[in-house]
Structure 1
Amino acid sequence: MNLTSSYSAKSSWLSLRKLALTMAVSAVAMLGYANGANAAYGNVTKESLVDPSILKIDEIKFLGEKVDYDFVLQDESGADFKLGSMIGKPLVLAFSYYTCDGACSVINKNLAETLKGVERWKIGQDYNVLTVSFDQNDTPATLVDFMEKSGFSGGQLPSGWKMTTMREKENIEKLTGSMGFKFFWSPRDALFLHPNVYIMLSPKGRVTRYLYGGTITPTDMELAITKAMGEKIAAANVIDFVVGACYSYNYKDGKYTINIPLFVAAGGLIFGLLLIAGSFSYMKFRRVKHEI
């Protein structure tokens, strides 16, 4: 291989690599924009598409953590009971707020439908379900209204499922924070931003799994309950994260919608990485060819 061809090949390789890196950096920047530009506290897009990135749970930090049994909850009748009374068997925990017009009633309805498909385990017998409000303004009265909106006519919950408020409002953030659940008030839209997630606790009260609302199946729930029984911890898989990230809840339409900017950014990032790999393979092939 002569000096001219070697220089030409090197220049082509550098040009390709520069182009690929530029595209990859641009994709990362776009991804960051899609994840954060319009998702700051109190700054929701005109279409009210809430980006889930600011609400992401640090699973590595909180998986395996044990919750405090002594938190005092109140049911729809105003009766007190401790969180610890719901533990001793797997517990599916959902945080909601009861004046919500959108996602909160949806995730509780979806949970009820999902649990109907869990055949191996019976609610109230093998596991419990608990919905807790993170809004300090919620009362047993707003709770009763929420139960109606969530499809529990006459306030009739399945045996083993309780919907509650916190008696000591100052303990709300202590409970949510102990599981990595974050929520923010948006003054402009007059609503809370929060993740749509079910948190699985083991019989010993340890966090064993996060299941993201809108993406789970009865099989997912059944497996999560089974693992919780054995005190087995499992992080959300890649599919859970991708699907959860690609869908945002549209408060205007009252449904989940695809996060288009995230798809575009991810596509650009993947293309950039493929271009780097392809150009590397091409230059390696040319080098071997010239050596021959």
Structure 2
Amino acid sequence: MNGNGWKELFVLIGCALLAPALPAPGGTRSPGDLVRGIVYEQHLGQPVSPALTFVDDQGRTVQLGSYFRGRPVVLVMGYYRCPMLCGIGINATARTLEEFPPESSSRDFEFIFVSVDPAENYLAAAEKKSEYLRRLGWAPAAERWHFLTGGEAETAQLADQIGFRYRYDPETKQYIHPSGLVILSPEGKITSYLLGIDYPAAEFARALGNARRGEPGIVGQVISILCFSQSPAPGTVAYYVLIALRCGAVLTLGGVILLIRSKRRHPDRRYAEV
């Protein structure tokens, strides 16, 4: 695992320590109610509307279809000020991209991030884009990685089309949402979902190959990793018990990620071109 991978594993452990997902004793809210229905409903084979309008990182009004340029599309929804997993998911995409040589067809896609927060504007999008262009250090990304904001109606319509179920929690001022990538064909048809916060290069390349051919894949994992935190009162027994439980769960996840990463140190390069 490289330095970024270790950093993100520690972030996950930090999330476990800081964000146990149970209510404080005496609270009236049920975490089960808050996250119920927050999933990716996989709409394989369905199109997204090219006429939906958003604002790009330069403040220009754009249609979603303007990014359907003959390449597969990797679509992500979340929000720029997200304190949890949105950044980790984008980092995972960037890290996967770095595993392919510059000339690989698996780098040849349009990346679109759409904020679900109508309060965020193009300045937040521009800051995020600048951050990832510096990280990638790959000139074509300037024209192929797009960070958008939009109105509540357009965002909700896009979310509905791709099966992205989310909810705003006014108490924590967070958006509760699933984490993952939606892969579209060059014409904007949904062909694959890569859920979670780690996208193995072989799976990523396979998904892009299916999208390039316009062939829907099979329904992937149905267990969603949710981006949300709700903390019990510090100092309570529940607080410390849940810290221990969450640490155990996340360390187990970390072990799985380490195992996957170790197997990818000497990958079968056949996936580099799909």
Question: Normalised by the shorter chain, which TM-score bucket?
Answer: 0.5 to 0.7
Matches within 5 A, 1:52-201: 54-59=37-42, 62-87=43-68, 88-119=70-101, 120-121=104-105, 123=107, 126-147=108-129, 151-153=132-134, 157-166=141-150, 168-201=151-184
Q: Distance in 2 between matches of 1:114 and 1:170?
A: 32
Structure 2 distance, partners of 1:122, 1:203, is 14
Normalised by the length of structure 2, the TM-score is 0.64
CA separation of 1:250/1:96 partners in 2, compared to 1, >3 Å: closer, same or farther? Answer: closer
Q: TM-score, normalised by structure 1?
A: 0.61
1:249 deviates by 5.4
* Deviations 1:244-264, CA, capped at 9 Å, x for gaps: 45x5557589xx97769xxxx
2:149 match: secondary structure? strand
Moved segments of 4+, more than 6 Å: none
Q: State the shift of 1:186 in Å.
A: 1.6
- CA-CA distance at 1:55 after TM superposition: 1.8
Query: For residue 19 of structure 2, what is the aligned residue in structure 1?
Result: none
Aligned to 1:22: none
Structure 1 gap segments, 5+ residues each: 1-36, 42-50, 261-292
Change in CA separation of 1:121 and 1:169 when aligned onto 2, cut-off 3 Å: same
Larger fraction in helix: 1
Instruction: Say if 1:155 and 1:231 are closer, same or farther in 2 by CA, change over 3 A.
Output: closer
- C-alpha contact 2:92 2:198 (8 A) present in aligned 1: no
Q: Is the 8 A contact 1:70 1:84 kept in 2?
A: yes
| Alignment-derived partner of residue 234 in structure 1 | 217
Question: Secondary structure of 2:90's match?
Answer: helix
Match of 2:31 among 2, 25, 38: 38
The alpha carbon displacement at 1:151 in A equals 4.5
Name the amino acid aligned to 1:118. F
Other structure's SS at 1:173 match: helix
Equivalent position amino acid for 1:77 in 2 = Q
Alignment-mate amino acid for residue 67 of structure 1: V
1:208-234 deviation digits (Å, cap 9, x = unpaired) = 111013242111111000011111111
Instruction: Determine which structure has more spread, i.e. the larger CA radius of gyration.
Output: 1
Structure 2 CA distance, aligned partners of 1:235 and 1:221?
14
5+ residue gaps in structure 2?
1-29, 232-242, 251-274
SS in 1 for 2:188: coil
Distance 1:206 1:258 in 2: 39
Q: Secondary structure at the match of 1:193?
A: strand
Q: Percent identity?
A: 20
Does the aligned pair in 1 maintain the 2:176–2:228 contact within 8 Å? no
For the residues of structure 2 that align with 1:147 and 1:158, how far apart are their CA atoms?
8
Are the equivalent residues in 2 in contact too, given 1:147–1:155 (CA < 8 A)? no
Give the secondary structure class of the aligned counterpart of 2:93: helix
Q: 1:89 to 1:117 in 2, by over 3 A?
A: same
Flag the 1:217–1:83 CA change in 2: closer, same or farther, 3 A: same
Equivalent-residue separation in structure 2 for 1:154 and 1:176 (angstroms): 28
Cα distance in 2, alignment partners of residues 257 and 210 from structure 1: 28
Residue in 2 aligned with 1:225?
Answer: 208
Deviations 1:106-160 (A, max 9, x none): 111111111222343153xx32111111111110122234446x65449985441
Equivalent residue number for residue 204 of structure 1: 187
Map of 2:253 onto structure 1: none
